[in-house]
C-alpha cells in the first residue's frame, strides 16, 4: 500500500500516516490536505485494500455533534461506529472522513439550522431557509484519496443513493451497497423520515419500522 504523495493530483496532497488503535481494531490513519481550502481529510485503512478486489468502505462526512458530542438528533455517530466495527469484523476496509460538516454548510450554520428545526422546519427546509442547498456536499476528493491506496471498487456502506451516483460519476465503481441502518430513536425519527422522503435515502419510515416485521 502506497504511503507516498500521489503524483499530479490537483485536489489535495497526501501528508503522512500513523497507527490508530480503536475499540474495534488498530487502523492506519492517513492524512490529506485539500488545496485551496487547507481542510484536512482522513482515511482509516485496515488490511490490504489495493489488491483489486472490491473494498468494504464508508465515505463519512464530518458531524461534530454526532461523531464527538454523542447527539441523538442524527444517526451520524452511530453510522461512524457501525462502519468501523464492520470493517474490523471483516479485517479489511477503508473509511474516508471528509471535513464537510452539516451536509456541507459548516458547523455554525448547522447549529442555526437546528434552531430552525426546533421552530418547526425539517432538515431540508432549514437548509433552504438559510440559503443553502438541501445537501451541499461534494465527493470529488474521494477519487484521489482512494487512488492513493489503489482502490477502484467499493462495497459501500450507505443508505444514500445520491452518494452512490456521485461516486459513480467520478469513475469509482460501487460494486455493492451495504445498508447502514442504525440508531433510530425518538429524537431523530423526523430527521430520518425526511432523509427518506425528501432526499431518497433507502430506509424504513418510522411508522413502518415501529410496526415490526410482517406488519403493514
Active-site annotation holder among 67, 122, 135, 193: 135
Task: Please report the sign of the dihedral spanned by the C-alpha atoms of residue 129, residue 131, residue 133, residue 139.
Answer: negative
Residue 167 phi, psi (nearest 5): -65, -40
Q: Is residue 193 flagged as an active site residue? A: no
| Per-residue model confidence (pLDDT) at position 10 | 86
Q: What pLDDT is recorded for position 213?
A: 42
The strand pair at 12-21 and 40-46 is best described as unpaired
The Cα–Cα gap between 132 and 75 comes to: 21
Architecture of domain 12-100+138-184: 3-Layer(aba) Sandwich (3.40)
Tell me the pairing of strands 173-178 and 153-157: parallel
Catalytic residue among 75, 86, 137, 193: 137
42-84 pLDDT, tens digit each? 999 999 999 999 999 999 999 999 999 999 999 999 999 999 9
113-142: average pLDDT: 94
pLDDT tens digit string along 148-198?
999 999 999 999 999 999 999 999 999 999 999 998 999 998 888 998 898
Lookup: cell for 168: 459513480
Give the residue among 80, 73, 65 at the shortest CA–CA distance from 185: 73
User: Cβ distance 58 to 180 under 8 Å?
Assistant: yes
Tell which wins on pLDDT, 210 or 176.
176
Q: Which residue has cell 481550502?
A: 37
- pLDDT, residue 77, reads 97
Q: In this predicted structure, what is the pLDDT of residue 175? A: 97
Judge whether 123 is annotated as a binding position: yes
Does 151 carry a binding-site annotation? no
Percentage above 70 pLDDT, the chain = 91
Would the pLDDT of 207 be above 60?
A: no
Question: From the DSSP assignment, how many helices (H) and strands (E) are in the chain?
Answer: 9, 7
> Is 76 known as a binding-site position?
yes
168 is in an annotated binding site: no
Which band of pLDDT confidence, cut at 50, 70 and 90, is reported for residue 208?
Answer: low
Annotated active-site residue 99? The verdict is no
150 is in an annotated binding site: no
For residue 1, is pLDDT > 50?
Answer: no
Amino acid at each position: 500500500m502506497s504511503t507516498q504523495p500521489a503524483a499530479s493530483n490537483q485536489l489535495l496532497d497526501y501528508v503522512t500516516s500513523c497507527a490508530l488503535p480503536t475499540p474495534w481494531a488498530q487502523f492506519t490513519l492517513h492524512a490529506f490536505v485539500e488545496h485551496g481550502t487547507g481542510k484536512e481529510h482522513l482515511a482509516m485503512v485496515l488490511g490490504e485494500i489495493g489488491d483489486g478486489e472490491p473494498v468494504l468502505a464508508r465515505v463519512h462526512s464530518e458531524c461534530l455533534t454526532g461523531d464527538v458530542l454523542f447527539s441523538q438528533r442524527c444517526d451520524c455517530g452511530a453510522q461512524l461506529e457501525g462502519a468501523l466495527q464492520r470493517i474490523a469484523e471483516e479485517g479489511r476496509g477503508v473509511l474516508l472522513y471528509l471535513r464537510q460538516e452539516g451536509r456541507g454548510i459548516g458547523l455554525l450554520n448547522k447549529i442555526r439550522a437546528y434552531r430552525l428545526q426546533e421552530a418547526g422546519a425539517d432538515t431540508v427546509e432549514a437548509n433552504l431557509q438559510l440559503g443553502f442547498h438541501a445537501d451541499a456536499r461534494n465527493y470529488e476528493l474521494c477519487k484521489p484519496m482512494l487512488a492513493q491506496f489503489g482502490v477502484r471498487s467499493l462495497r459501500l456502506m450507505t443508505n444514500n443513493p445520491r452518494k452512490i451516483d456521485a461516486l459513480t460519476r467520478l469513475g469509482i465503481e460501487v460494486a455493492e451497497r451495504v445498508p447502514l441502518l442504525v440508531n433510530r430513536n425518538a429524537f431523530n425519527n423526523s430527521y430520518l423520515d425526511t432523509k427518506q422522503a425528501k432526499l431518497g435515502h433507502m430506509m424504513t419510515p418510522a411508522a413502518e419500522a415501529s410496526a415490526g416485521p410482517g406488519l403493514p
